[in-house]
Amino acid sequence: MIHRWLLVCLVACGGAQSVKLEENNVTTLQVITGDGPKDRRICARGDVVEVVVTTKDGKAYYEGSSGAVEHDRFDPAIVTLTASIGDMNDRSWNPPDDAMAMLDKKLTITATLVANPSITSTIELEPHWKCWPPTAVAGGKPGSSGDAGAKGEAAGNAPRTTISIGYLPYRDGKLVAVTVEPQGSPMQTYLLDPTITMRVFAGGGSGGGGGGDGGDGGEVTVLYDAASPELAKYVVIDNAAGPGGDAGEGGHIGTAEDLDKQGTPGRDGRPGPEPRFVARAGISQLMEAARTRTAAAAPTEPIAKAPDDGARTYVGTATVTIDVKGRPPVTQTNRLEVLSTRTRKRHFTIQVQPGCVLAFNRSATSTEHVYALEAPTICEDNGSKLTIHRATLELDSVRELLSLTYDGKFTGTGKKPLAGTTHLEMKNAERR
């Protein structure tokens, strides 16, 4: 039913339990990749492994996630995971920030049974770069939504960004090395298999709900090695204008008497200029020099899995506004429970209800824990559909609070199906 998506009012699922394992009944552990026990490669940009426990009766069970109840998986607290390079969060392996730290290295992941450390399993994996294409985030900061009767915050403009691209000899072939340097922020480095391209987001931020203005797209210059003009094709630039925030209840009219009036939407930002592509000699040599500096650095010590960095449940009060053409907007406030999971460094997913999971990320250069929606997300239920096209996640790790806003369009089912837009806002939900 369509109201399920619009109210997104979740109730804790009582009675669900993970597989209960008696630790003294465990005989073996095995660490495998997502592609099966015979695979010995792992994506150098981050990947997920599986941990399999075998019990005395010969049955095999897979590890679950911290804080998430999965009836067919065991509680990960009974196992510790360590990595020889980078760090582990549940079953997710996160590489070092410096992509070149994985060159000419093998990764060892070890699983150990907490109750009996003599039961352990180790797998040695070969990092590779022929995997999911990365996205570098160098865009403007999204604006925060305004309170009722207050205008939403204007978004930030994207900074001027310089991208450099060169080749890096590797084994019997080569990799594409890309650096992304937003003005005033640290440089980000990416390595690509020559069959993979990457996206650089340098667009303006989204205006806050309640009429916040969108940010302007940034100016982008791409420098590629003059000896290899084909390098220019390895980056796709998105420096579009940031969309203005939707009008809110009372919008930015701003007085208590006017709270029943509709505000005006924020203006869109301006798109950035066409990216400049410039051939420059010696870029590949600069990439090789950076590789040498990284190789000379001290090796990273193994880091244990952070048991407090997996899935977390937050509960708060969410206000949902439903707008159907020809009808007055309807606003309802309900309890909302969401599941937040850190999938890798600077990346989170938020499950707002079963089957509806939003993926967020933030720039490596950002010092604030504000995350933008990675891509429009479609949530479906019994023929009803909600398309969430804009969302912002804010995390306060000190006070353990979560804030979430999103805007979407919905369609329903039935003889006279409803269709319209919805806006959800939840501020300062507390960790349960």
Whether 260 shows a pLDDT value over 70: the answer reads no
Quick check: 239 and 203 in contact, CB under 8 A? yes
For the chain, what is the mean pLDDT? Answer: 82
Residue 62's DSSP bridge partners are 52, 73
Which is more confidently placed, 9 or 303?
Answer: 303
Kindly state the percentage of the chain with pLDDT values over 90: 36
Q: What is the pLDDT of residues 75-116, one digit of tens each?
A: 888 899 999 999 887 788 889 888 999 998 999 999 999 999
Checking if the pLDDT of 220 tops 60, the result is yes
- CATH class name, domain 23-129: mainly beta
Within 10 A of 268 (CB to CB), how many other CB atoms are there?
Answer: 18
pLDDT tens profile 168-194: 999 889 999 999 999 988 899 999 999
Tell me the C-alpha distance between 202 and 139, whole Å: 4
Residue whose C-alpha is closest to residue 175's, from 199, 162, 194:
194
Residue 4 above 60 pLDDT? no
- Contacts of residue 208, Cβ cutoff 8 Å, sequence gap at least 6: 142, 143, 144, 145, 146, 152, 153, 154, 155, 245, 266
Residue 69 in this model has a pLDDT that exceeds 60: no
Tens of pLDDT, residues 405-432: 998 888 876 556 678 888 999 999 998 7
pLDDT recorded at residue 397: 79
Question: In the prediction, which pLDDT does 225 show?
Answer: 96
pLDDT of residue 6: 41
Local confidence band at 72 (pLDDT 50, 70, 90 cut-offs): low
Can you tell me the mean pLDDT for 49-63?
90
Q: Which of 53-62, 137-146, 259-268, 351-360: highest mean pLDDT?
A: 53-62
pLDDT of residue 2: 33
User: Is residue 352 left, alpha or beta, with left meaning phi > 0 and alpha meaning psi from -120 to 50?
Assistant: alpha
pLDDT value at residue 261: 60
Which residue has better confidence, 90 or 251? 90
Predicted pLDDT of residue 180: 94
Here the tokens at position 240 are 């579009």
At 344, which amino acid appears? R
Q: For the segment 153-166, what is each residue's pLDDT rounded down to a tens digit? A: 888 899 999 999 99
Q: What is the pLDDT of residue 89?
A: 78
- Identify the burial level of 95 via C-beta atoms within 10 angstroms of its C-beta, where 0-12 means exposed, 13-18 middle and 19 or more buried: buried
| 275 has pLDDT over 90 | yes
Residue 255 pLDDT more than 80?
no
Residue 33 has pLDDT above 90, yes or no: no
**Confidence band, pLDDT 50/70/90 cuts, at residue 293:** confident
Looking at residue 18, its pLDDT comes to 59
Cβ neighbourhood burial of 36 (10 Å; 0-12, 13-18, 19+): exposed
Question: Whole-angstrom Cα distance, residue 362 to residue 370?
Answer: 7
Query: 311-431, what's its fold?
Result: Lipocalin (2.40.128)
Strand partners, 179: 164, 189
| Burial zone of 360 (CB within 10 Å; 0-12 exposed, 13-18 middle, 19+ buried) | buried
Q: Would you say residue 231 has pLDDT above 50?
A: yes
Instruction: Report the pLDDT averaged over residues 41-70.
Output: 83
The yes-or-no verdict on residue 227 having pLDDT over 50 is: yes
Q: What is the three-state SS of the chain? A: CHHHHHHCCCCCCCCCCCECCCHHHEEEEEEEECCECCCCEEECCCEEEEEEEEECCCCEEEECCCCCCCCCEECHHHEEEEECCCEEECCEEECCCCHHHHCCCCEEEEEEECCCCCCEEEEEEEEECCCCCCEEECCCCCCCCCCCCCCCCCCCCCCCEEEEEEEEEECCEEEEEEEEEECCCCCEEEEECCCCCEEEECCCCCCCCCCCCCCCCCCEEEEEECCCHHHHHHEEEECCCCCCCCCCECCCCCCHHHCCCECCCCCCCCCCCCCEEEEECCHHHHHHHHHHHHHHCCCCCCEECCCCCCCEEEEEEEEEEEEECCCCCEEEEEEEEEEEEEEECCEEEEEEECCEEEEEECCCCCCCCEEEECCCEEEEECCEEEEEEEEEEEEECCCCEEEEEEEEEEECCCCCCCEEEEEEEEEEEEEC
pLDDT at 381: 66
Ranges of each domain in the chain: 23-129, 135-296, 311-431
Question: What is residue 414's predicted lDDT score, i.e. its pLDDT?
Answer: 56
